[in-house]
Amino acid sequence: MCSVQRTIRSLDRGDLRDALALAAAITVVGMSFGALAAAAGVPFGLAVAMSVLVFAGGSQFLAVAVVAAGGAPLAAVAAGLLLNVRHLPFGLAVGENAGRSWPARLLGAHIMIDEVVAFSRARPPERAGLAYRLCGILLFTGWNVGTVVGLVAGAAVPDPDAFGVDAAFPAALLALLLPSLRGADAKRVGLAAAVLALAATPFLPPGLPVLVALGGLVLAGRPARGSG
Amino acid sequence: MTWTAVLVLAGGTYLLRLTGILLRGRVTMPERLERLVDLGATALLVGLVAAAALTEAGGFSGWARPAGVLVGGLAAWRKVSFVLVVVLAAGTTALLRLAGIP
């Protein structure tokens, strides 16, 4: 328990506050997932298991929508997995933040979502690992509490779009990304990635446009001297 | 939705997540590759932001959301606190929708 207390003491207050803001927003989205699952006739236990075991909001919404629209469960799984392929390159990039010991890595893998990746990358290296776990555990908790509340409240859950929650997430990611966009090479790659993702979105199934954005790397050029 | 579907989606997603982390621990990357992997994560996240800010189901999302993201982004650029960035973005979009802008 000593190490738990040490961990709590070494938590950065700002990190905790920022992660709690994200957790509050994800709880609202979790509620809307629970409400959608209830409306689509997904059994309570199955919807809860989805949020606990998959913990990837986009793929959960997509899978439920595919089945609700009459698609086969296999098609729902394929669509969800395609959306989650981006986690592999994320792991390559933030593997050290996710954990170094085996138990830490096994946990770190499960709590890896876009916001956690961006959150840990925005922290200095000495705090990045702790920030990753803090953010991941809080978001996991918020998502699952939200799911249960949404399943119980059903149609009584208001549309999160009415509160602008759909704008909160890209804005939060953008805020977390700004420090990594300082270099000229990152600016070039980022701009190309945005253009590619937007151009591909009307034509490709969800998940692929973001992978197409990786094509922005052709503008990476050579590393600038001194800035790595 | 079936239990099999949920378990396969969960297992597959977990494997995708774990594979990247384990590869990172296993392979010593030359500095040049490490830089590309890092820029790749930036590209993926920027792609996600762009798509999430501007599109909905393959089409344009309407003006309220990108306006909120823009306000939040400007606030972040001006070094406003993260919590306020989130509140400003959501608040802008919510107000615009209240005013009838989708």
Question: Nearest CA to A194 among B39, B60, B58, B47?
Answer: B47
Mean pLDDT for A155-182 is: 96
Selected residue of B2, B39, B80, B83 to mutate for chain A interface (largest A Cβ count, 10 A): B39
Q: Compute the radius of gyration of chain B from its Cα atoms.
A: 19
Provide the β-strand partners of residue B59.
B56
Q: Report residue A2's pLDDT band, with 50, 70 and 90 as the boundaries.
A: low
Q: Please enumerate in sequence order all residues whose Cβ is within 8 A of that of A99, keeping only pairs 6 or more positions apart, or say none.
A: A105, A106, A107, A108, A129, A132, A133, B21
Q: What is the pTM of this model?
A: 0.94
- The domain segmentation of chain B, as residue ranges, is 1-58, 62-102
Q: Which residues on A lie below 8 Å from B2 (Cβ)?
A: 46, 73
Query: Cβ of A193 and B31 within 8 Å?
Result: no
Q: Which residues on A lie below 8 Å from B72 (Cβ)?
A: 167-168, 170-172, 174-175
Tell me the pLDDT tens digit for each residue of A106-154: 999 999 999 999 999 999 999 999 999 999 999 999 999 999 999 999 9
Q: Which residue has the tokens 């993201």?
A: B69
Position A11 scores a pLDDT of 81
Tell me the pLDDT tens digit for each residue of A214-225: 999 999 998 766
Of A67, A169, A209, the CB nearest to B1: A67
**Residue in A with minimal Cα distance to B84:** A21
Rounded to two decimals, the ipTM of the complex is: 0.96
- The domain segmentation of chain A, as residue ranges, is 11-174, 182-228
Q: Which residues on B lie below 8 Å from A67 (Cβ)?
A: 1, 5
Position A181 scores a pLDDT of 97
Query: Cβ of A210 and B85 within 8 Å?
Result: no
Question: Nearest CA to A33 among A144, A172, A171?
Answer: A144
Q: For residue A190, is pLDDT > 70?
A: yes
B51, A193 contact by CB (below 8 A) = no
**Residue in A with minimal Cα distance to B76:** A175
Selected residue of A85, A87, A100, A138 to mutate for chain B interface (largest B Cβ count, 10 A): A87
Q: Which residue has the tokens 């774990």?
A: B18
> For residues B79 and A6, which has the higher predicted lDDT (pLDDT)?
B79
- Amino acid identity for residue B33 in this structure: L
Mean of all residue pLDDT scores within chain B: 96
* Per-residue buried b or exposed e for A69-107, using 16+ beta carbons within 10 Å of the residue's own CB: eeeebeebbbbbbbbbbbbbbbbbbbbbbbbeeeeebeb
Q: Which residues on B lie below 8 Å from A106 (Cβ)?
A: 18
Tell me the pLDDT tens digit for each residue of A6-58: 666 678 899 999 999 999 999 999 999 999 999 999 999 999 999 999 999 99
Mean pLDDT for A53-68 is: 96
